[in-house]
Structure 1
Amino acid sequence: MCQWMLPTAALRPDLVAGTAHRGPPPGLPPTSLPSPASLCLACFTLLLVAGSAAGGCPSGPGQNPLQVLAKGSNCSWTLERHTRSYNHLEGDVRLRRLYSANKFFLCIDKSGKVDGTRRKNYADSLMEIRSVSVGVVAIKSVSTGLYLAMSKKGTLFGSTRYNPSCKFKERIEENGYNTYASLRWRHGGRQMFVSLNGRGKPRRGHKARRRHPSTHFLPMMPT
């Protein structure tokens, strides 16, 4: 229950400057007082307006003002949060086999060679995909312990140590497949993608394009 009262004019629309009277016109029933719920809603609305005037968060176009709460000028909390603020996704680990649209499983052998295989349960194709930040993953072969990495020239290889070259931006494409682009390296301003050609051989990152089937992978759960 609110601890303070609204101005009389807000509760009694009939009481305005120059036209106020002590009772209803003859023949009309007495004006009913607002319910406690209406009083609290009015209190909350006025507090929200006062907060905005003091430097709080204004509501955006089409946004319900009751969905915005601000403390001072801090707009860090709303009922609708952007995906970028979901930091709890960091550290998420998945065991998957990356199956390309060209029907090959990505694998890394013990020598560090990256290749594609059609063998479904091949040990070197089982990958640990770990989220290192929102939308960025590190991919490691479970059997060899080597990380998938990309060189400055766009060559894929297995790295014994985790480093910035092992970070890839993971994106779900419109067809449901994922693409993996190097976070560190670009070629002429273009992203370089993990890619397997029609023979299952890795392509240079600068020769791959986001929409090309060779860059599309479906993360499949191990069986």
Structure 2
Amino acid sequence: MCKWKPPVVAGLCPDLAIGTAPPTLPPLPSAASVCLACFTLLLAAGTALGGCPPGGPPGGVGREPLRALAAAGGGNCSWTLERHTRSYNHLEGDVRLRRLYSANKFFLCIDKTGKVDGTRRKNYADSLMEIRSVSVGVVAIKSVSTGLYLAMSKKGTLFGSVKYNPSCKFKERIEENGYNTYASLRWKHGGRQMFVSLNGRGKPRRGHKARRRHPSTHFLPMLPS
């Protein structure tokens, strides 16, 4: 008997003729491999030009592939090895009007002669301070009524300065109890920080005698009433 074969349709590939199984297609590349291949091309182009590919690392590419690519290409792109450093420049110039109330229940004040003292009078004019951020975590404290800046000498003595200078910079830190401490940015004593401090009688203590844990160094910035 003669075995009938289906005719080949004109204009079509014989492999797609009626009665034949469709060919097996190769698997499509994954999205991750396509992204990595594109990034490799960008990195190669950036290295040839002496720079980094624009826009930072593409999404979906992990730190290890980036590290390997950077090592292979010899590039010096900072984002291949570490994150960008955050900028806090928007904090500079921030001004707050506050009264610094110590844990010893005194308000810090600066009189017109430059004397630093503590008072229990809540609305005393010389105790209203302008606290200005001069850099990240660093402030300048100025009496609103007298216009004098809080300053600390090399020996740890507090005084009011007519002009703003490096001795008027203090590192502001919020402690665990919610109070703030203010340490001189410029001066230290034996490698230890010197703090703004009022003793139990409201008198300023020498900076080298104060410690961060002492209640005399703890101040609560209070809104003026």
Regarding TM over 0.5, the answer is: yes
Q: Distance in 1 between matches of 2:197 and 2:35?
A: 58
Structure 1 residue 34, shift from structure 2 partner? 3.6
Asked whether 1:65 is paired with 2:63, we answer yes
Q: Give the 5 Å matches for 1:165-180.
A: 165-180=167-182
For residue 104 of structure 1, what is the amino acid of its counterpart? F
Deviations 1:66-108 (A, max 9, x none): 9x7999414279995556x423322221211111111211111
Deviations 1:145-193 (A, max 9, x none): 0000111111111111111111111112222221111111111221110
Q: Distance in 1 between matches of 2:23 and 2:177?
A: 68
Partner of 1:154: 156
Count of aligned residue pairs for this structure pair: 189
Consecutive unaligned residues of structure 1, counting only runs of 5 or more, are 1-25
Q: Distance in 2 between matches of 1:128 and 1:222?
A: 11
Secondary structure of 2:90's match?
Answer: helix
Secondary structure of 1:91's match?
Answer: coil
Equivalent in 28, 33, 44 of residue 28 of structure 2:
33
Q: Give the 5 Å matches for 1:70-219.
A: 72-75=75-78, 80-82=83-85, 85-219=87-221
Identical-residue share of aligned pairs (%)? 76
For normalisation by structure 2, the TM-score amounts to 0.70
Structure 1 residue 121, shift from structure 2 partner? 2.0
Alpha-carbon distance change, 122 to 78 in structure 1, aligned in 2, over 3 angstroms: farther
Consecutive unaligned residues of structure 2, counting only runs of 5 or more, are 1-20
Asked if the contact 2:63–2:80 (Cα under 8 Å) also holds between the matched residues in 1, the reply is: no
Which sits farther off after the overlay, 187-196 or 115-124? Answer: 115-124
Secondary structure of 2:224's match?
Answer: coil
Alpha-carbon distance change, 211 to 140 in structure 1, aligned in 2, over 3 angstroms: same
Q: Distance in 1 between matches of 2:119 and 2:152?
A: 19
Asked whether 1:42 is paired with 2:42, we answer no
Asked if the contact 2:147–2:162 (Cα under 8 Å) also holds between the matched residues in 1, the reply is: yes
Structure 1 residue 195, shift from structure 2 partner? 0.2
Structure 1 residue 65, shift from structure 2 partner? 2.1
Larger Rg: 2
Secondary structure of 2:78's match?
Answer: coil
Asked if the contact 2:63–2:81 (Cα under 8 Å) also holds between the matched residues in 1, the reply is: no
CA RMSD between the two structures: 3.6
For residue 33 of structure 1, what is the amino acid of its counterpart? L
Alpha-carbon distance change, 55 to 148 in structure 1, aligned in 2, over 3 angstroms: same
For normalisation by structure 1, the TM-score amounts to 0.70
